[in-house]
Structure formats: C-alpha cells, structure tokens
Amino acid sequence: MAVRRALIFGRFQPFHKGHLSIVKWAFENLGIDEIVLLVGMASENYTPRNPFTAGERIEMIRLSFMDEGIPLSKLVTATIETLETNIGCVTYVLSYVPKVDFILARNPIIARIFRDAGLEVVKPPLFNRDEWRGDRIRALMARHDPRWRDTVTRSTGEFIESIRGVERVAELYSMD
C-alpha cells in the first residue's frame, strides 16, 4: 500500500499554531498518511528574520506534534539550505524529501513553480493569521511580550525559553 504524503516547505521561525493547524487540517481533509515538513533556510540562523537554527526548529515541530497527540510516525522532517526560488529549484528541493503527492502552499510564487514542475498544489485555509504569523511572534518576543506563548504549544514555549530564545530574538532585533 502506497503512503500518501503532503509537503509543507517553510522557515518555521518559530513553528507555531498556524503551522500546526495546517498540519491538522491536512490530516483531517486530504487523506494523507504522513506530512513532510521541509525546514527551509536551514543555513541561516541567529538573524532577526531567522533567529532559530534548523535543529531547533525541528525540535519545535516534534514537540508540537507530541503536544497535540499526533504520532511522530506521521512526520518526516528534512532541511534545506537557503536558495533562490525558481523553477530549477523544484527538482532540487524534492531531492531532499521522500516522494510526496502534493505540496501545501499559500505563497503564490512557490505554488506556481511547483505547479509548473508538475506537482499538485493545495492551498490550505488561513488559520488566525492576524495572531499566528512568524513576524508578529518574533516581534512579541523582541518586546518580551508574554503573548508570544499563546502562539505556540506548551512544550514548544518551554523549549524556546530553555534555549533563551526570547532573549536571542530581542538581542537580534536590537542589532537590526
């Protein structure tokens, strides 16, 4: 029996409840067996836009799945370094992950290049986009505003605190 997989390609800075809502929506509505989360811009970290390392982001993803009771056997993670987005990168990107049946993408450029390369693209719904947006969450962290905790799962919040992620983001924003 073939495994049906969907791909989500993102930075996940941090992995938040919006990302998690898309994952849950995909499992509930698309008949998938596994989700592949490709952590992009893995070669960039400790910057205001990308404060967390690829390994830290993978840890956040795993913790979020566990907090929600989603079996880790349904998760595949991979990383890919920073690259230019163009039609030529689709084959390259897909070489980093197991075979996928489609990609979940809201970004129109990402959707277009994957569609032009022959992969089915599914546009997931938005989930609380005003609150669950990476740039907003990082801005809350930079201001030491505790509301950032409401945007991630409990264990992810604890992990970010354990690595002094809020202090890191605040320091990076002050240098920007």
Q: How confident is the model over 79-94, as pLDDT tens digits? A: 998 766 666 678 888 8
Average pLDDT over residues 28-54: 95
Instruction: Considering only CA atoms, give the Rg of the chain.
Output: 16
Assess contact for 49 and 56: CB atoms under 8 A.
no
pTM given for the model: 0.93
pLDDT of residue 83: 66
Q: Rounded distance, CA 116 to CA 97, Å?
A: 19
pLDDT of residue 175: 83
Among residues of the chain, what percentage have pLDDT more than 90? 78
pLDDT of residue 84: 62
- 10 Å CB burial of residue 116 (0-12, 13-18, 19+) is exposed
Q: How many domains does the chain have?
A: 1
pLDDT digit string, tens, across residues 43-73 = 999 999 999 999 999 999 999 999 999 999 9
pLDDT of residue 172: 96
**Shortest CA distance to 22 belongs to which of 53, 12, 73?**
12
pLDDT digit string, tens, across residues 99-157 = 999 999 988 988 998 999 899 999 999 998 889 999 999 999 999 999 999 999 999 99
pLDDT of residue 85: 62
CATH number of residue 87's parent domain: 3.40.50.620
Average pLDDT over residues 18-43: 95
Cα dihedral across residues 41, 38, 54, 66: positive or negative? positive
* Residues of the domain holding 111: 5-175
